[in-house]
Chain A
Amino acid sequence: MTSDNQLGGHVSGVDGSLPRHFLRSALHIALIPGRSHGYDLFEQVKLFGLSSVDLAGVYRAMKSMERDGLVSSEWESSELGPPRRVYQLTNAGHIEAAEHLRSLRAARDLLDFILGSATIDIGQRAR
């Protein structure tokens, strides 16, 4: 039985400390190594720190990315169970993923600068 608890209760979800569109960035980056299934992507973005993300949010994000031509998907047959949806980045998706990485690195550099400035300021005041 597919219950709310199994799939998470959050309508869309990213941690409050992260921008809302970070889920899309995380999904792009999770797909850079290659093809992946929905639940595996869900697990991967949780490892990225999006602990409150739910499976429905991942499903909708993947549909949206597919509509935007960033991801392609197909049903993968299995002898062990029912067909499973598998996703991969398109060429446009790889370009978008690189852009997400660039943006995240820029954000990290900015945060490093801000935190470095704060550390210097606190050090000077302490003297």
Chain B
Amino acid sequence: MAEAFGESMASPKSPALAALYWRSEILQVMYWLRGEGFGDIVDAGLVERFLGVDATIGVTYLDRLVDEGYLVADGPFYSLSERGRAEGAAEFASSFADLMRPTHGECDADCWCHQSADEAEACSAARRQHDHDHNREGNTEGSP
């Protein structure tokens, strides 16, 4: 489902991670607007413009945030719930950034290995070689 948001956003592929990612993106827009003095009531069209995503899919995630207790729906409009406000923009953004950051030797979302099996195989081989070289460096550093 997340692929429909467009290539430029580089959203995660798995549904669970994509849901976390878009929860963060939507809430960040709402925190951003609130911080700039525009209040915290949005509709799907507004979220679409800020995220550059399809409004229909945006609504899906907005409704999910209502189910999760972050937003309150009032007809076509959505506002931050007490829980949504309490979550705190800084904590939310930083925790998600940590979750998304590739660990040592991992590829990031822009890596070509996500595009084809050949690329994935080549990338995996390169990572194995990198780890191999890294381990050898580590072993030789202490040797006389």
Give A contacts to B, CB under 8 Å: 1-4, 6-7, 11, 37-39, 54-56, 59-60, 64, 67, 74-75, 81-85
Digit string of B35-52 for contact with A (CB within 8 Å is 1, else 0)?
111111110011001111
A2 and B41 contacting across the interface, CB-CB below 8 Å:
yes
B90 and A37 contacting across the interface, CB-CB below 8 Å:
no
Closest chain A residue to B51, Cβ basis: A60
Answer yes or no: B123 CB below 8 A from chain A CBs. no
Answer yes or no: B22 CB below 8 A from chain A CBs. no
B50 and A75 contacting across the interface, CB-CB below 8 Å:
no
Chain B, interface SS category: helix
Answer yes or no: B19 CB below 8 A from chain A CBs. no
Closest chain B residue to A39, Cβ basis: B36
Name 27 interchain pairs, CB-CB below 8 A, sorted by A: A2-B38, A2-B41, A2-B42, A4-B46, A6-B38, A7-B49, A11-B49, A37-B35, A39-B37, A54-B49, A55-B36, A56-B49, A59-B32, A59-B50, A64-B8, A67-B10, A74-B90, A75-B89, A75-B90, A81-B37, A82-B34, A82-B35, A83-B89, A83-B90, A85-B31, A85-B36, A85-B89
